[in-house]
Amino acid sequence: MSALAEPAVPGLRPVALVQWPAVFAGAIAAAGVSFTLHAFAAGIGLAVLSTAPTWRDSSSWLWLLSGVYLLATSLAAFGVGGYIAGRMRAALSLDIAEVEFRDGVHGLITWGLAVVMTAIMALGVAATAMPAATGGVGAAGAQSVAGENIIASELDELFRTDRSVPDMNYRRAEAARILPKASGHNGVTNADRDYLTTITAAVTQIPPDMAAQRVNREIAAAKTEIHRARVAGVLQAFFIAAALFVGAAAAWFAACEGGRDRERGMSPVWARRAVR
């Protein structure tokens, strides 16, 4: 007996321990279902984080609903992928418990491959979008874009004026790199406060004392919003990790169910019809 193959049903040639065509078929199906459901969720605004400033107006119930939907998506996608991997695997002339274990392993491999495929696609999209978003200005540009996504409203209020300002891009980007310091251990330094006060007064043409009050108000607001963004990020990370573990279990058990249907020569729909 080869280390790379197992005896199949009598009369059939030996098959590989890991049947990659079935695994790839299940992984592609899982990725397709997952993409479809995530696209639907993004379309209806069911997300913990968003690039729009209004995402902060969402309640804790929406965050919880987003997490539950993420778990449901994982169950559906990896359940479908695992079932396909187990159902399309060739039958083996082994003990029932061993066959079920092999089916479950195939479901688990399908889960891992689908996760890797999704991660590669996400990295590709991020690598493509990052230069366009930062304008090719490196890490400083990336920090400015992050600031715009989280504290865009605070930046608007900081430089709000009825005057015509020719070029605000640099000043705004500069403030977007300073205000996030409010969430740090040392906060915004006095030098940074004074600088923000100076450029705010210069841009808006308001008295320095009013500019200082505006700067202090927006620093406090930025600290609150950055804290809220961090909480949302932690919740999203927890939901993703939980969904992946749930997906692994779903892929395992769905592959075992697919293997049982394979041995019976039935599918779930046909099985229900046969019962009727």
pLDDT, tens digit, 9 for 90 and up, residues 169-213? 888 888 888 888 888 888 888 999 999 999 899 888 899 999 999
Q: What pTM did the predictor assign?
A: 0.71
Other CB atoms within a 10 A radius of the CB of residue 272 amount to 10
Our CA angle for 50, 54, 60, nearest 5°, is 80
Q: Which residue has the higher pLDDT, 9 or 204?
A: 204
Q: Kindly state the tokens that stand for 274.
A: 């046969």
| Percentage with pLDDT > 90 across the chain | 28
The set of residues, in sequence order, having a beta carbon less than 8 Å from that of 15 and lying 6+ positions away, is: 5, 6, 8, 90, 92
Residue 126, Cβ neighbours under 10 Å: how many? 10
**H runs (alpha helix) in 17-137:** 20-43, 60-87, 96-134
Here the tokens at position 159 are 């430089």
Among candidates 30, 53, 2, which has minimal Cα distance to 108?
Answer: 30
